[in-house]
Amino acid sequence: MFQIFTDFAGWIVFGLMGLLPSSKLGDALHFFVEDVSKIAVLLAVMIYAIALIRATLNVERVRDYLLGKHRAIGYVLGSVFGAITPFCSCSSIPVFLGFTSAGIPIGITMSFLITSPLINEVAVLLLMSLLGWKFTLLYVVAGMAIGIFGGVFLDAIRAERWLESFALEALQRGQADQSAGVNHGVKEQTVMSFAERHQFAKAETVDIFSRVWKWVIVGVGLGAALHGFVPDGWIEAHLGGGQWWSVPAAVLLGIPLYSNAVGVIPVMESLIVNGLPIGTALAFCMSTVAASFPEFILLKQVMHWRLLATLFVILLVAFTLLGWLFNGLTPYL
């Protein structure tokens, strides 16, 4: 199905530009054109299609739905909704407070917020097209597992102790209201006509596209450079054995590199194609996407340093364990 993009890139790079497939530049450019054209077309089509379907899903409905759910189900649902609900990371704080003040336990809220940057439709789409469905499935399961267990752990250590006092009070009020049966802002079911859905999907496509195209160019550009200019076999020879230290090293390396999933997935593809073990690549990718300082600093407005640091360590440990697990499993995949 994706052959057309390979042919298209071949036509541009080897035909029109007259570069040799065997040259480094030709190889790198071919990779670049193929991936950028493929990603651009896929994004435009799929974001629109997905937005049509989920036009009526929003954080308010998710909150109402999560309210009063049993904890065990709550973490899983929090994580599932984190994966499928669209929201801008600049809304993290209001969403956190909105969930909290409704009385949703902090662990469930965090399952939602941890999973959200890791899994979204754009990331899944890129993974499917670049690395295949098996890998995508692994990624999604792993991302949700981290969200779920992160949430469980935070509730187990009673993380709400380390919220800013106004957030904690809001949580306690919300929980008191909830047990007293007070209903907060349950919205009426929204019914949308197709025209409205189309409007929403169109706006969503334009919005996401205008936000991520830069990342695509940068990410694919880096991937292409790696692909063309890192000597063949270098990565495989030095890191291909899945040396134990390579996973924590990849996680640490990912922290200062802040990117969203769209930028890092093409890099990951290139690394994997060049022989980097998938566990190491996954750990690197997740660390780059989810453990970013700018977002953590934002959370400081509602949490004490202690909770922030705990959260950070949880993520780093989780990514490392996950990397080791997948490297260990690779022979059986």
Partner 1 sequence: MKVFKVLGTGCAKCVSTEQRLQQVAVRIGIEVGVEKVQDPRQIMAYGVMTTPAIVLDEKLVHQGGIPTVGQIEAWIKE
Q: Where does this chain bind partner 1 (CB under 8 A)?
A: 58-60, 63, 87-88, 90-91, 93-95, 97-99, 101, 166, 170, 185, 298, 301-302
Tokens of residue 121, six digits:
């439709």
d(CA 101, CA 170): 5
How many helices (H) does the chain have, and how many strands (E)?
Answer: 15, 0
For partner 1, the closer of residues 205 and 246 by Cβ is 205
Least distance from C-beta 296 to partner 1, angstroms? 14
What lies within 8 Å, CB to CB, of 291 at 6+ separation is: 251, 254, 255, 312, 315, 316, 319
Residues in the chain: 333
Task: Note whether 116 and 86 are within 8 A (CB).
Answer: no
Q: What angle do CA 195, 201, 207 make, to 5 degrees?
A: 140
Least distance from C-beta 109 to partner 1, angstroms? 11
Longest CA–CA separation in the chain, Å: 74
Least distance from C-beta 166 to partner 1, angstroms? 5
Least distance from C-beta 60 to partner 1, angstroms? 6
Burial environment of residue 94 by CB neighbours within 10 A (0 to 12, 13 to 18, 19 or more): exposed
d(CA 144, CA 80): 7
For partner 1, the closer of residues 90 and 195 by Cβ is 90
For partner 1, the closer of residues 48 and 87 by Cβ is 87
Least distance from C-beta 48 to partner 1, angstroms? 17
**Collapsed DSSP state (helix, strand, coil) of residue 60:** helix
For partner 1, the closer of residues 105 and 254 by Cβ is 105
For partner 1, the closer of residues 46 and 93 by Cβ is 93
For partner 1, the closer of residues 36 and 108 by Cβ is 108
Least distance from C-beta 167 to partner 1, angstroms? 8
* β partners of residue 303: 163
